[in-house]
Amino acid sequence: MQQGYTLAELAAELGLELAEETDSSKRIYGVNTLEDAGPDELSFLANPKYAPQLDTTKAGAVIVEAKQAGRVKNALIAENPYLAFAKVLVLFSKPQGEFSGQSPLAYIHPDAELEADVTVYPFVFIGPRTVIKSGSCIFPGCYIGEDCRIESNCRIYPNAVLMSGTKLGKGTIIQPGAVLGSDGFGFVPGEAGIEKIPQIGSVTIGDNVEIGSNTTIDRAALGETIIGHSSKLDNLVQIGHNVHIGRFCLLAGQSGISGSTRLGDKVILAGQAGLSGHLKVGNRAVIGPQSGLTRNVKDGEVLGGSPSMPKNEFLRSSVLIPRLPELYSRIRKLEKALEALTVGKGNDSFS
């Protein structure tokens, strides 16, 4: 990457067309926004509202749709500039960390089984009978308890915690400080006031999942808490015990799911959404920001508000909430008018 890429190389790599008069030997060393890009950097135009920036950008080249190609000196033409740019980012991205090997400053239990090319940074603890497969990388301060299983090419960032028996599928990413497999919130009234129900289940995470920073996923009371393949959880998300999340779900920051709730595939939770326990949420359902879900949800339903209601109802009713004082005074006015009328009519009847 230090040598960058020529525009010709980038066009070939990404299957893009070079615009006329573009200097195909121009060398690109980085990527940036139209506003901030410099002459050695590549940028892109996806949102037409930023089109005026094409006239002022200092970017060395820009990925654009064909119709904008004439507006900049050097352009790569793409049908979908945003998607093309996402692929450029892969070329210019650099993985976190530069460590390799297994640090003598880590504690690896003799009964753990790590394949040869697993990276273990200093200050990592790995418990007995844990298996870590090829290409996975464990950053400093991580705790991997006993009987865990981490498939190939996982990245576990600093200070993440996997309690005993946690399983991660291939290529899964755990952002810093996430906690998997801590005890669920299970208590019963007992002789001594509140007694803890032992949480003897575990957490199982599919392939290509991403878990955000400081997100917490509780182990099941019994059985498994499950996050399905390719689902992505943002930061500070809370997943209660025995929750099952399907595949390709997206859970935004600070959303939370109470115990035993089940999500289908491709479900979206917006930021700070909260789901009660023991619910079923169908495939492709969408729960809006700060929405509070208290009922089951069918496939494809889109909900908002707290308690949740269909999004259309939410939009139509929420604009009326600020008008409640007005509605209230109109009702009073009606009541007075009606009273006057009734009195008037009463008088009439005397005539």
Catalytic residue set: 241
Q: Segment contacting a second copy (CB under 8 A): 4-12, 16-24, 63-71, 102-110?
A: 102-110
* Residue among 205, 300, 221, 306 at smallest CA distance from 255: 306
Query: Does position 197 bind a second copy by CB under 8 A?
Result: yes
Query: Does position 82 bind a second copy by CB under 8 A?
Result: yes
Structure-token pair, residue 120: 């273990």
The DSSP letter of residue 102 is: B
**What's the Cα-to-Cα distance from 340 to each of 102, 270, 336, 347, 349, rounded to whole Å?**
88, 51, 6, 11, 14
- Asked if 243 and 260 count as a contact pair (C-beta separation under 8 A), the reply is yes
Query: Does position 92 bind a second copy by CB under 8 A?
Result: yes
Q: Segment contacting a second copy (CB under 8 A): 6-14, 21-29, 58-66, 181-189?
A: 181-189
Among 213, 243, 244, 286, binds a second copy (CB under 8 A): 213
* Residue among 245, 75, 240 at smallest CA distance from 169: 245
CB atoms within 10 A of CB 184: 24
Euclidean distance between CA atoms 197 and 178, whole angstroms = 23
Of residues 247-266, which lie at the interface with a second copy (CB under 8 A)? 247-248, 250, 252-254, 256, 258
Q: Segment contacting a second copy (CB under 8 A): 5-13, 52-60, 112-120, 161-169?
A: 161-169
- Find the helix or strand (DSSP H, E) in which 315 lies: helix 311-318
> Which of 5/139 has CB closer to a second copy?
139
- Asked if 334 and 340 count as a contact pair (C-beta separation under 8 A), the reply is no
* Residue among 184, 241, 321 at smallest CA distance from 313: 321
For a second copy (CB under 8 A), the number of binding residues is 118
Binding mask 113-152 for a second copy (x = CB under 8 A): --------xxx-x-xx----------xxx-x-xx------
Of residues 41-80, which lie at the interface with a second copy (CB under 8 A)? none
Query: Does position 298 bind a second copy by CB under 8 A?
Result: no
Of residues 217-246, which lie at the interface with a second copy (CB under 8 A)? 218, 221-223, 230, 232, 234-236, 238, 240
